[in-house]
């Protein structure tokens, strides 16, 4: 196991230098999306409409950040349970998604999609929402504002640490 710095977004070629068990230090742009946002994104895809952001080479952070207190970029911003997005992830991975950040294990269909494509799943530490929020340098709602904390946000992060998941386990 080693520590590797990874700038986001990243390509699958760049992902190939990352190994399961590595600790990734992630910096760059991620998009937040939880259950409700995934449901809406799938409705767009099913209707032949574009997603609110180009999914190719992007990373989705399974989080619903709390509102920011005055003087802060964002409120607590911890990962949610990733398995709740397992019905959605394989399709997004096959459309070009290269990374996901969340907590917990992934189901068989997600592990298979990760193995087939070389995309990565990063396991962040649950219960560290306030600490993770310190890694967020900017935050902007880009879609589904009516969902409140579950709206899709574009975050710029710096130094978010997460373990690279092993899809073969």
Classify residue 169: in a domain, yes or no. Answer: no
Domain extent for 140: 3-164
Classify residue 142: in a domain, yes or no. Answer: yes
Classify residue 160: in a domain, yes or no. Answer: yes
Q: What is the pLDDT of residues 63-117, one digit of tens each?
A: 999 999 999 999 999 999 999 999 999 999 999 999 999 999 999 999 999 999 9
Q: How many structural domains does the chain have? A: 1
Classify residue 144: in a domain, yes or no. Answer: yes
Residue 13: which of 108, 120, 156 has the closest Cα?
Answer: 120
Contacts of 68 (CB under 8 A, 6+ apart): 74, 75, 139
Residue 1, both tokens: 């196991």
Classify residue 54: in a domain, yes or no. Answer: yes
User: How many H-runs (helices) and E-runs (strands) does the chain carry?
Assistant: 5, 7
**Do 14 and 6 meet the contact criterion of CB atoms below 8 Å apart?**
yes
Contacts of 131 (CB under 8 A, 6+ apart): none
Beta bridge partner(s), residue 26 = 6, 160
Return the pLDDT at 169.
86
DSSP structure class, residue 51? P
Return the pLDDT at 126.
84
Q: What is the pLDDT of residues 19-50, one digit of tens each?
A: 999 999 999 999 999 999 999 999 999 999 99
Hey, which residues are catalytic here? 38
Classify residue 74: in a domain, yes or no. Answer: yes
Residue 108, both tokens: 């068989």
Return the pLDDT at 1.
75
Classify residue 86: in a domain, yes or no. Answer: yes
CATH of the domain at 91: 3.20.130.10
Round to whole Å and give the CA distance between 22 and 165: 8
Classify residue 157: in a domain, yes or no. Answer: yes
pTM summary value: 0.96
């Amino acid at each position: 196991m080693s520590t590797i710095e990874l700038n986001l977004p990243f390509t699958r070629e760049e992902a190939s230098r990352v190994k399961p068990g590595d600790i990734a230090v992630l910096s760059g742009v991620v998009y937040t999306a939880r259950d409700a946002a995934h449901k809406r994104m799938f409705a767009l895809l099913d209707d032949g409409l574009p997603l609110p952001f180009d999914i190719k080479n992007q990373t989705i952070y399974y989080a619903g950040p709390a509102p920011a207190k005055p003087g802060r970029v964002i409120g607590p911003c911890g990962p949610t349970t990733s398995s709740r997005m397992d019905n959605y992830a394989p399709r997004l991975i096959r459309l070009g998604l290269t990374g996901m950040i969340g907590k917990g294990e992934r189901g068989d269909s997600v592990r298979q999609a990760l193995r087939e494509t070389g995309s990565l799943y990063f396991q962040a530490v649950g219960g560290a929402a306030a600490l993770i929020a310190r890694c967020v340098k900017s935050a902007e709602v880009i879609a589904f504002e009516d969902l409140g904390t579950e709206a899709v946000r574009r975050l710029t992060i710096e130094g978010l640490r997460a373990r690279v998941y092993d899809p073969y386990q």
